[in-house]
Structure 1
């Protein structure tokens, strides 16, 4: 009953803001949906260095929420939560990028791992092992795994950023969100996104089993890295390595295919 009343109240706030331009209604919408910002910031904070404050991420995300409220069209068949989460994430990522706090050496190492992974996978016709990756990079397995942790701890390595498409308003929508909610993309974009979805799904299917499981639990079941560690019986840092490795594999695969003009 209480949920139903809340839905009626929210509908009325949307009407007052969109039809009457009521600024007080807009402020109440920001307040009502602010838990979304805390949720997104909390998930992103778990994969970032300790010096990045969750409170800062929340303030960056609020800008995305306000923008989402201003641009949302209630008559379109898209849930506001889906519409807003993408923009909250985007706002946080944009702000972190503008601060440029990711060390250049870490960025270079991530690109090198992507390049070597693509080369080995092409030669071997299967995902390379840690030992094969380490040998090709001229380092020990321990050094390779430490590199994965450094990349994980100091950059936003996320499946959300692999592919983005433009929706009807010209905003960028993450492909992952379109997999979870097909209504997140305008029908005019459907042909392009279908092809990209197929490529992403195929790339995920070709991952080693443990990496595939980490991707499924993190992005589709919304488990934290710590919770995934409990499921798999490994440490959180090991899950972080698996996640980073999986995303770098997917990036090298998808970008490599794009470069070939496929």
Structure 2
């Protein structure tokens, strides 16, 4: 009886108002981490809102009889709600996704032929586009994600989708098989980043790690916002082509 009572106290959830105050730092933490996933159309505020909804749902659905700590269950629901929000905002049409896949495949071939990452003029020529058409293509793919989760799930079938997100978020996994696959993926990402130009790495760092907007980056680097968007999208395409080869 005493053990059952102690378990009930340990698993019990506090009042909702106190809960929101207690979990807000956790929600902010995961929002900051997951925004690095690379959806330019999603903001930290969107993810915080999703996290709060996940917390409230956890509050109403929690069942102490399952013998799971409320904190564990709530964090699971918070992260799940954020991932659902990211999936909903995958707004790139299929026709554009097809063009992106074709571009990535051609870029991989050109990279292998040259033994280095090609310049803009070389990419445009290989794609049978003028330089202006190539830049217009880069502008047309707003919303492209940092990592193509579907392709990575095929390459690393032992990883759950959440594990791939957590790699970007910096979360640690305990399962040895997952840890091995995540380490391999992380090494590929680090090598891919080394293939980008200094300017491309700078734009990604300012956007994803410093949290600046395209407009703010343009002002710092003395470029137009459109040009920063092109550099960002080009860098993302290069990373995807290298990660999925």
> How high is the TM-score relative to the length of structure 2?
0.69
**RMSD over equivalenced CA pairs, Å:** 4.3
1:235 and 2:235 correspond: no
With over 3 angstroms needed to count, the CA separation of the structure-2 counterparts of 1:187 and 1:47, relative to structure 1, is: same
CA distance in 1, matches of 2:79, 2:185: 18
Which residue, out of 72, 94, 106, partners 2:87? 94
Instruction: Describe the SS at the equivalent of 1:203.
Output: helix
With over 3 angstroms needed to count, the CA separation of the structure-2 counterparts of 1:124 and 1:166, relative to structure 1, is: closer
Number of residue pairs matched by the alignment: 223
Q: Which residue of 1 aligns with 2:204?
A: 215
Q: Return 5+ residue gaps in structure 1 as ranges.
A: 1-15, 257-262
Which residue, out of 28, 33, 41, partners 2:24? 33
Task: Indicate conservation of the 8 Å contact 2:218/2:228, yes or no.
Answer: yes
Q: Which residue of 1 aligns with 2:163?
A: 173
With over 3 angstroms needed to count, the CA separation of the structure-2 counterparts of 1:250 and 1:171, relative to structure 1, is: closer
Task: Indicate conservation of the 8 Å contact 2:145/2:236, yes or no.
Answer: yes
Instruction: Describe the SS at the equivalent of 1:200.
Output: helix
CA distance in 1, matches of 2:220, 2:115: 30
CA distance in 1, matches of 2:19, 2:121: 52
CA distance in 2, matches of 1:107, 1:62: 31
Q: Return 5+ residue gaps in structure 2 as ranges.
A: 1-7, 63-67
CA distance in 2, matches of 1:148, 1:171: 27
- Offset from partner CA, 1:133-176 (integer Å, 9 cap, x none): 11122221111111111101xx34224858578999x661345x
With over 3 angstroms needed to count, the CA separation of the structure-2 counterparts of 1:63 and 1:194, relative to structure 1, is: same
Task: Indicate conservation of the 8 Å contact 1:63/1:91, yes or no.
Answer: no
Higher relative contact order (CA closer than 8 Å, sequence separation 6+):
2
CA distance in 2, matches of 1:200, 1:46: 17
Task: Indicate conservation of the 8 Å contact 2:39/2:144, yes or no.
Answer: no
The structure with more radius of gyration = 2
> How high is the TM-score relative to the length of structure 1?
0.65
With over 3 angstroms needed to count, the CA separation of the structure-2 counterparts of 1:122 and 1:53, relative to structure 1, is: closer
1:252 and 2:241 correspond: yes
